[in-house]
Amino acid sequence: MTKIMGILNVTPDSFSDGGRYTALEQAVAHAKQLVQDGADAIDIGGESTRPGARFVSAEEEIKRVVPVIRQLKQEIDVLISIDTYKPVVAKAALEAGADIINDVWGSKWGDQSMAQVARAFNVPIILMHNRDNRNYGHFIEEVVGDLYESIEIAQAAGVPDEMIWLDPGIGFAKDYAQNMELMNRLDVITNLGYPVLLGTSRKSFIGQALDLPTEERLEGTLATTCLGIMKGCAWIRVHDVRENKRASLMMDAMLGGGQIG
């Protein structure tokens, strides 16, 4: 059964919902709504990863995310993922009760110690594909190669394979055509043998395809969710949980011959 990860950005400048959930009460209320709508996990981020976003210090990021995590662990029973590439932030979040590390740099940022944090806390780590350029020779092959580099970093740190998840990194270091090609060939990633998280919600390639602003990309996101499930993605990371949950249940029912759960 496909799992849904709801997005909670406690940032002032995220591309879609920046500034809406910066107050603790707003963040907690939104997380509760996401769970009510069907989220199996909440992904909490304290720094925007949109192009051109302002760098946030680890101290500031910790101040944003830790109080929310602590409060949520008291009030709801759901997995919490910390969306960060900074090991010190991940450590603070895990100490506060987070269950999963979601690393947009695939444990390659800085001293590459994020995987060591995952191993120390024995939690899953999501290794997303990312790089600092778009200079691909053979696009799909290099995406897979980059992911294998992240996997090897995690394995070298002692992270067991069952704690490694992958994310193809739609929208990161990829242009419109590359995002579309990777969506079409997601099975190359899901066939690597690790659970795959797909994060396409409201992203710019959907806006380019449909010529629509961020707030009108729900239907496009639903299409990517359905394709991702068909291609074998285990988790879908989205802003609009209720609609994507319904789409995933329908896809699971069809692909399972009518069986749900």
Catalytic residue from among 86, 108, 237, 245? 237
Beta bridge pairs of residue 45: 9, 83
Query: What is the reported pLDDT for 21?
Result: 55
Instruction: Choose, from 203, 217, 231, 245, the residue flagged as catalytic.
Output: 203
Q: Would the pLDDT of 75 be above 70?
A: yes
Is 203 catalytic? The answer is yes
pLDDT of residue 82 exceeding 50, the answer is yes
Reported as a single tens digit per residue, the pLDDT across 203-228 is 999 999 999 999 999 999 999 999 99
DSSP sequence for 19-62:
TSS-SHHHHHHHHHHHHHTT-SEEEEESS--STTPPP--HHHHH
Residue 12 confidence class, pLDDT cut points 50, 70, 90: confident
> Residue 217 catalytic?
no
Residues 38-68 have pLDDT tens digits of 999 999 999 977 666 678 899 999 999 999 9
Q: Residue 155 and residue 198: Cα distance in Å, rounded?
A: 22
Over the stretch 121-136, which tens digit does the pLDDT of each residue have?
Answer: 999 999 999 999 999 9
Whether the pLDDT of residue 19 is over 70: the answer is: no
Share of the chain above pLDDT 90, in %: 87
CA dihedral sign, ordered 84, 118, 101, 198: positive
Q: Which amino acid type is present at position 89?
A: V
What is the H or E stretch that residue 83 is in? strand 79-83
At residue 15 the predicted structure's pLDDT band, cuts being 50, 70 and 90, is very low
Q: What is the mean pLDDT of the chain?
A: 93
* Cβ within 8 Å of residue 134, ≥6 positions away: 173, 174, 175, 178
